[in-house]
Amino acid sequence: MATHRVTPSDLVIHRRDMKFGREAAHPRWWLGEDPGRTAFFNALSSTFPIGEKFFMTSVKHFRDGAPEPLRSQIDDFMYQESIHSREHALFNRQAEDAGYDIKPLEARTRATVEWARSRPPLIQLAATCALEHFTAVLAHALLSDARHMKGASSDAHSLWRWHAIEEIEHKAVAYDTWLYVTRHHTGLRRWARRSVVMATATARFHWVIYRNTADLLKQDGKNTLGAWAKLLGYLYGRPGPMRLLVQGAIGYMRPGFHPWHKDDRDLVAGALASLNTSGAKAPAE
């Protein structure tokens, strides 16, 4: 893959008003009839509407002072995140329709976000950069390895692939905003601050996601050592989404890091072509 020290000048962040899952019922174990993997991705989804609102707010705080094209990219970022929030809110309601109680998971996410909101705006932006890097790492994993979504229901598969496509498209917007806002900081100060925030975000992310996953497994009567052994083998073995996330967090702390050091636009193009033949379409209205 080609590498970039900055965001590619010809990058386009598309505005797609996509809709998923309006017609079919949400299967309880929608991911390969596997309660563990289903619980993990439901746990992730439960954080998105609240978390993405935090991302939008933290980046918007610095929008007016940003130069072009960054200011327009911030607008495109907020558009994409708002649609993600809407679609995952529906996905979460469908999980409730399938019998899960999502409210404790949302409450846990809300408490974590409220803690983050108590920090200064620059730290909130740094937290957004860290968590956006997580989503970019997971997005690349989902698009590059079919094992992550093996056995997923059609609508869920399309939803998660579309979300991954757009997370890669806008993966550097928050980070470029951070670079602009901290342009007068020394390199050491900038690196130290983002690294500390990443370490904190990594710890809190694990705590929230695993507590949420445990809640869902408990509701299924599957919160057992055997279920966790199987799930952790998936998460940290092969294909290993959480293993890749931890590796990504370490890579993020490298001096000189930039999200577009990995140019995965070809991966996005291939995934988008596949998505467009799967029946997922933008609404006509």
**What pLDDT is stored for residue 279 in this prediction?**
45
- What CATH architecture does domain 35-276 belong to? Orthogonal Bundle (1.10)
* Domains in the chain: boundaries: 35-276
**What pLDDT is stored for residue 276 in this prediction?**
59
User: Of 249, 242, 246, which is closest to residue 228 (Cα–Cα)?
Assistant: 242
Distances (CA, A) of 219 to 35, 164, 264: 10, 28, 38
**What pLDDT is stored for residue 23 in this prediction?**
77
**What pLDDT is stored for residue 284 in this prediction?**
39
**What pLDDT is stored for residue 2 in this prediction?**
41
With a cut of 50, list the residues of the chain below it in pLDDT.
1-4, 279, 283-285
Phi, psi values for residue 14, rounded to 5°: -80, 145
**What pLDDT is stored for residue 280 in this prediction?**
52
Token pair belonging to 16: 């797609």
Strand-pair partners of 31: 152
**What pLDDT is stored for residue 88 in this prediction?**
97
User: Of 158, 161, 141, 89, which is closest to residue 262 (Cα–Cα)?
Assistant: 141
pTM (2 d.p.): 0.93
**What pLDDT is stored for residue 129 in this prediction?**
98
**What pLDDT is stored for residue 21 in this prediction?**
83
Distances (CA, A) of 172 to 5, 187, 233, 261: 11, 18, 31, 10
Residues 89, 53: contact at Cβ < 8 Å?
A: no
